[in-house]
């Protein structure tokens, strides 16, 4: 054995051991730093939230998890708004969520927090419904991403007055179909107005946006109203596209209430049945995307959403959007536009029916333009594009109903400016006008104000 080789071996082993220790220590320290950073972040957020009121009923471990995991958690959010005001904090397990329930509060929050993004925990939930590959869409993509900007900027002209004017004939046709359905049903027949209006909206979006006729109004049958879960267990086979979309959305609502359904409860029969509806919806959207792609390059005058989507170029490849990317974009317009628009109309009709003096003024306005059906005029002329600008009272009524439904609380919560995170300031909220208390006890499902409250919830989560 050469002299010193033992010492040499020992120092080699020592160096090896030190290297191993360092190799373990560095990631362990990095992990510890991340954990400490997250705990510190959570702690500072919890301290911020402690300055906001919190509704009663939270348990030590679960917080408000139980009431918010109910399918109608938006109603709970509304109740809490009545208890503590339009801006409050709830605890869901370890997470603190700020809830803003009033449009004025949301407006102030968004203005005061430039750069606030869509919370992926809320918006990302919709990705597996809209796309088999889970691609984000205009609705769910981060507003900081070049993809969101591309699509948002690209399709915006599809909603311009010029574009809507050009496709108004589609709206006239759908309106004529809705009216024909009402004639067929006759007076005295009870039916789900909201369902018919959602079908009408679906047909309008299909025709105006994509030159596709889903014939949803044609498939309308008077029957009991859809009431969250109405399709469960039937399966999508043989069902019309409208039923497939509404059943698909039901599962999204359930996941928003209980996110565990997506990760851990996939084995439940009802979750698996819902996923079959998703596949059916995606198959229809895929078909539409392929039809749209197969059309020749759109003419410059074509202002439809389909044409705008076809004109987009992928920022990375310079190529048109692939069918994989078109599917979630097309699906978004149906999912985002259908119930929002239809519920606005349904609630407006409901509220007008509750206020005969308003109904009278509306009838007078329509009569002046020859648009009111009456004994002397059983078949009024059809509404033209130019009429839209000549109906100020109708227009104001829709806006008032919209705001009335979205807002209720007249309590100001924050009396002084609150700092949310490092750069997010929430100004003191001004008191909101008192709203119709009666509206809150209405029992129509999926109301507009509930939807908006969901949006408010989303904003709140985004602040997390
Ligand atoms: C009265 C009717 C409507 C209401 C109340 C409504 C409500 C909303 C709300 C609150 C958001 C924001 C969600 C968020 O980011 O927090 C939104 C986004 C969106 N809506 Fe609507 N919507 C209506 C009609 C429509 C229609 C008719 C369409 C399309 C045909 C549509 C397509 C979209 C899209 C694509 C987004 C995402 C926009 C983006 O992130 O840039 N909406 N809608």
pLDDT of residue 3: 57
pLDDT of the residue at 430: 35
**Is residue 404 over pLDDT 80?**
no
Q: List own/partner pairs for 147-153 with CB under 8 A and 24 or more apart.
A: 147/315, 150/312, 150/315, 151/309, 151/312, 151/329
Does the CA dihedral 348-388-302-200 come out positive or negative? Answer: positive
Please write the tens of the pLDDT for every residue from 374-402.
889 888 999 999 999 999 999 999 988 87
pLDDT digits (tens, 9 = 90+) for 209-262: 999 999 999 999 876 555 444 455 568 888 899 999 999 998 998 888 888 888
The residue that leads in pLDDT, 152 or 20, is: 152
Instruction: Summarize the confidence of residues 186-212 as an average pLDDT.
Output: 92
What is the structure's pLDDT at 219? 92
What is the pLDDT averaged over residues 285-309?
Answer: 93
* pLDDT score of 412 more than 50: no
- Mean pLDDT (whole number) for 41-55: 84
Neighbours of 265 (CB within 10 A): 15
Distance 201 CA to ligand 1 centre (A): 13
- Cβ atoms of residues 420 and 426 within 8 Å: yes
Separation between Cα atoms, residue 314 and residue 325, nearest integer Å: 10
The band of 96, judged by pLDDT with boundaries at 50, 70 and 90, is confident
Average pLDDT, the chain: 81
Contacts 24+ apart (CB under 8 A), 59-67: 61/93, 62/93, 63/90, 63/91, 63/92, 63/93, 64/90, 64/91, 64/92, 65/91, 65/92, 65/93
Cα-to-centroid distance, 335 and ligand 1 (Å):
9
- Taking CA atoms, 332 is separated from 128, 143, 245, 250, 327, in Å, by 12, 15, 11, 15, 9
CA 67/CA 438 separation, integer angstroms = 23
Q: Which of the listed CATH numbers 1.20.58.340, 3.40.190.150, 1.10.630.10, 2.40.50.140 matches domain 131-354? A: 1.10.630.10
Closest ligand 1 atom, residue 201 Cα: 27
Query: Does the pLDDT at position 406 exceed 60?
Result: no
Confidence of residue 147 (pLDDT cuts 50, 70, 90): very high
pLDDT at res. 107: 79
Does the C-beta of 118 come closer than 6 Å to ligand 1? yes
Instruction: Work out the pLDDT band at 410, boundaries 50, 70, 90.
Output: very low
Nearest CA to ligand 1 atom 16: 455
Highest mean predicted confidence (pLDDT) among 16-30, 97-111, 267-281: 267-281
Q: Is the model's pLDDT at 197 over the cut of 70?
A: yes
Grade residue 12 by pLDDT with cuts at 50, 70 and 90: confident
CA 301/CA 304 separation, integer angstroms: 9
**Cα separation of 388 and 400, whole Å?**
17
pLDDT of residue 117: 84
Instruction: Kindly indicate the confidence band of residue 5, based on its pLDDT and cuts at 50, 70 and 90.
Output: low
Q: What is the mean pLDDT of residues 343-366?
A: 92
The response to whether residue 116 sits with its C-beta less than 6 Å from ligand 1 reads: no
Expressed in angstroms and rounded, the spacing between residue 93 Cα and the centre of ligand 1 is 30
Higher pLDDT, 27 or 8: 27
381 lines ligand 1 (CB under 6 A): no
Whether ligand 1 lies within 6 angstroms of the CB of 280 is answered as: no
Provide the pLDDT for residue 2.
58
How many Å lie between the centroid of ligand 1 and the Cα of residue 101? 17
Q: Is 398 in the pocket of ligand 1 (CB under 6 A)?
A: no
Structural contact between residues 282 and 331, judged by C-beta atoms closer than 8 angstroms: yes
Q: Whose CA is nearest to atom 14 of ligand 1?
A: 455
By mean pLDDT, which of 73-87, 244-258, 441-455 is the weakest?
Answer: 441-455
CB of 333 within 6 A of ligand 1: the answer is yes
Q: What is the mean pLDDT of residues 353-379?
A: 92
Dihedral in degrees, nearest 10, Cα atoms 431, 433, 436, 442 = -50
């Amino acid at each position: 054995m050469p002299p010193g080789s033992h010492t040499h071996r020992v120092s080699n082993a020592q160096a090896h051991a030190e290297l191993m220790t360092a190799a373990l220590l560095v990631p362990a320290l990095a992990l510890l730093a991340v954990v400490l950073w997250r705990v510190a972040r959570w702690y500072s957020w919890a301290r911020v939230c402690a300055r906001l009121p919190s509704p009663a009923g939270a348990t030590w471990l679960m917080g408000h998890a139980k009431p918010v995991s109910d399918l109608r958690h938006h109603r709970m959010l509304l109740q809490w708004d009545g208890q503590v005001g339009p801006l409050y904090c709830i605890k869901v397990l370890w997470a603190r969520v700020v809830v803003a329930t009033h449009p004025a509060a949301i407006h102030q929050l968004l203005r005061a927090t430039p750069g606030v993004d869509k919370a992926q925990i809320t918006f990302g939930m919709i990705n597996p419904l809209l796309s088999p590959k889970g691609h984000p869409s205009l609705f769910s993509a981060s507003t900081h991403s070049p993809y969101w900007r591309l699509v948002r900027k690209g399709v915006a002209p599809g909603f311009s007055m010029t574009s809507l004017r050009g496709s108004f004939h589609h709206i006239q046709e759908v309106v004529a179909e809705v009216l024909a359905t009402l004639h067929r049903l006759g007076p005295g027949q009870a039916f789900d107005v909201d369902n018919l209006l959602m079908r009408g909206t679906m047909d309008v979006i299909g025709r105006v946006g994509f030159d596709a006729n889903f014939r949803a109004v044609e498939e309308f049958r008077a029957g009991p109203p859809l009431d969250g879960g109405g399709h469960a267990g039937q399966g999508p086979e043989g069902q019309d596209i409208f039923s497939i979309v509404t059943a698909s959305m039901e599962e999204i609502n359930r996941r928003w209430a209980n996110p565990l359904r997506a990760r851990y409860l996939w084995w439940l029969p009802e979750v698996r049945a819902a996923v079959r509806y998703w596949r059916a919806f995606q198959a229809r959207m895929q078909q539409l995307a392929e039809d749209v792609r197969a059309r020749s390059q759109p003419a410059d005058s074509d202002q439809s959403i389909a044409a705008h989507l076809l004109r987009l170029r992928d920022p990375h490849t310079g190529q048109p959007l692939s069918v994989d990317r078109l599917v979630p974009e097309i699906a978004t317009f149906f999912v985002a536009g259908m119930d929002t628009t239809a519920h606005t109309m349904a609630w407006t009709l409901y509220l007008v029916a509750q206020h005969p003096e308003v109904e009278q003024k509306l009838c007078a306005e329509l009569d002046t333009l020859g648009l009111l059906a009456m004994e002397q005029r059983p078949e009024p002329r059809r509404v033209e594009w130019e009429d839209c600008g000549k109906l100020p009272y109708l227009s104001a009524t829709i806006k008032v109903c919209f705001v009335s439904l979205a807002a209720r609380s007249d309590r100001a919560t924050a009396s002084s400016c609150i700092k949310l995170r490092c750069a997010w300031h929430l100004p003191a909220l001004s008191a909101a006008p008192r709203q119709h208390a009666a509206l809150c006890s209405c029992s129509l499902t999926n109301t507009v104000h509930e939807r908006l409250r969901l949006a408010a919830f989303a904003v709140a989560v985004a602040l997390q």
